[in-house]
Structure 1
Amino acid sequence: MTEGQKERVNKMEDMKAEEKKERGTSLFHCRMAQQKDPEEDMKIVLQRLIVAAPLPHDLGDGTEIGARYEKFKFQLSKKYVCENMTGLLLIYPSCLLHVIESSREVLLSVLEDCSSLDAPKVVSMTHNLQSRLFQQWSYKVLNADHGPGNARDLLEEEESTETLVCTVLSALHKLADQLETSKKALPGPVLDENPELIVPQKVLQKLLAQEDLHTPERHLQMYCSPLHISMDFGQVIRSRVLTSV
């Protein structure tokens, strides 16, 4: 075999070895992809939005608005397939309280939809949650007799927005704890058995009268406001500050 033939053989062997190496690397990546947790890419940054709104007196029994939000939730589930929405919609004779737990995109869609309500207010928006209060979304229509009997005394003592919001959050967390203890999936039966866990309607009415609570439009405007960078101090300052309770 001449030197030229040996050189060509060596080159061919080198090419085959390189091709084999590439195939091995590709197979390795394929195996790693197969072992990857399929839910890892579907994890979302969980957020919670709580909205309150007054209702017209001629609403009826409230089931119409419950069915309307049930349909809206179904539409969101088709649009955001991997972003499960959970929460609770409480429909009182004079107002509603809506708790939504999902991704940023779902919550923004809910805020935009709030324009269909009359004078809604954002009670709270919390980011980067570790767990959900509710494992499903559901609604419950309440009558005037539902709720704790000492709501009037509660209101006389709790006048500030911060205290009223804390009252709402405390009741929701107690309800979530009771759901976990009773092993029930939906909060409706739990609220029937434990009416003291219902957020009093008078508390929500007082909250809706507070001027320092943002409307959904104002909240969206502030949430989407641009960042202003100060080159002198090397600080990033949001032009409008959002507060999360």
Structure 2
Amino acid sequence: MSSIGHHVRKTSKRTFPLESLLMPQVPRNNYLHFQEEKQRLHLKKFLIHRMFLVAKIPANTEKRDISEYYEQVFQSIVKHHLGELVTGLLLMYPTSILHILESSSGTLLRILLDYIDREKNDDEFLIQGMKIVVVSHNIPSRLFMQWQVSVIKVPVMYLDDVTQSQSLEEVITEFLTQTHKLGAYLFKTVKVGTKGPGDNLHQAVPELLLPEQIIKYLCKCEEFLDPATFIKMYNNPIYVTLDSEVVWPAPDHF
């Protein structure tokens, strides 16, 4: 009897390989994954909009002055719009910039208003001739997890000027395609809390960078609004004629 019990106890401790394979696996995330998920949840507290801006800057401009200007603007806005962080990308070419901003509508408007005030009152303001290329409203998620700055130190060589052979629609399509590809690349490679891509994008992914000639071309296009005109249209009321206000046939006036 004892031998049988001993045999049962011995076999009950055996672990079958199939059972170990079928056991549920508990996912193990590290602290970095936890911080990234916390950041994503924090950035979803309000409706997000994405704005694409282009502008001209004087040659040999100290790029640090431009990045410091925007950092000061963001810090000032946070005092009035708590939690509405600004994410995006600022690419600084030799004589122009491409700026992508993601935040709430109120925050984006305050950024534009500050630029309008600086441009109006400072004849030597570094950023000139800004144009709003595209505004994407209520985007489902951010493309950038933080605000990043990258200086394009060396010019990227291109065989021809596409702005001379393509229509405006084709240039805009290339503009949006390339910027989204670049954003997707940075989303995968840049971790939250790091300094960003640095100034070697022209070496790491030159095929994803727009040529500066496209940025200059968009700055000159009259089809795009400058911030002052955009704000004026934004503040103007929209008058909608309701069906109940339309009478047919038109009344006769005697």
- Do the two structures share a fold, i.e. TM-score over 0.5? yes
Cross-structure match for 1:122 = 132
Shift of 1:227: 1.8
Cross-structure match for 1:242 = none
SS of the counterpart of 1:119? strand
Residue 68 of structure 1 aligns to which amino acid in structure 2?
Y
Shift of 1:207: 0.8
Quote the RMSD (CA, aligned, Å): 2.4
Shift of 1:221: 1.2
2:172 is equivalent to residue 165 of structure 1: yes
Cross-structure match for 1:44 = 46
Take 1:157 and 1:224, find their aligned partners in 2: how far apart are those partners?
A: 37
SS of the counterpart of 1:143? coil
Shift of 1:234: 6.6
Gaps in structure 1 of 5+ consecutive residues: 1-38, 236-245
Aligned residues: 192
Q: Which structure shows the bigger proportion of residues in helix conformation?
A: 1
Residue 150 of structure 1 aligns to which amino acid in structure 2?
Y
* Residues 46-93 of structure 1 deviation map (CA, whole Å, 9 limit, x = unaligned): 00111111112352x312111211222222223211211101111111
After the TM superposition, which residues 151-190 of structure 1 pair with which residues of structure 2 at under 5 Å, given as runs? Answer: 152-160=160-168, 162-182=169-189, 184-185=191-192, 186-188=196-198
Are the equivalent residues in 2 in contact too, given 1:47–1:102 (CA < 8 A)?
A: yes
After the TM superposition, which residues 1-245 of structure 1 pair with which residues of structure 2 at under 5 Å, given as runs? Answer: 43-59=45-61, 61-115=62-116, 116=119, 117-145=127-155, 147=156, 149-150=157-158, 152-160=160-168, 162-182=169-189, 184-185=191-192, 186-188=196-198, 191=201, 192-232=203-243
SS of the counterpart of 2:240? strand
Are the equivalent residues in 1 in contact too, given 2:52–2:132 (CA < 8 A)?
A: yes
* 82 and 208 in structure 1: CA distance in 2 versus 1, 3 angstrom threshold: same
* 44 and 188 in structure 1: CA distance in 2 versus 1, 3 angstrom threshold: same
Take 1:154 and 1:184, find their aligned partners in 2: how far apart are those partners?
A: 34
Are the equivalent residues in 2 in contact too, given 1:152–1:202 (CA < 8 A)?
A: no
Gaps in structure 2 of 5+ consecutive residues: 1-40, 120-126, 247-254
Residue 205 of structure 1 aligns to which amino acid in structure 2?
K
Residue 57 of structure 2 aligns to which amino acid in structure 1?
L
Cross-structure match for 1:29 = none
Shift of 1:223: 1.7
Shift of 1:150: 2.6
Take 2:244 and 2:182, find their aligned partners in 1: how far apart are those partners?
A: 46
Shift of 1:177: 2.0
When the two structures are superposed, what TM-score results if normalisation uses the length of structure 1?
Answer: 0.70
Shift of 1:136: 0.3
Percentage identity across paired residues of the two chains? 30
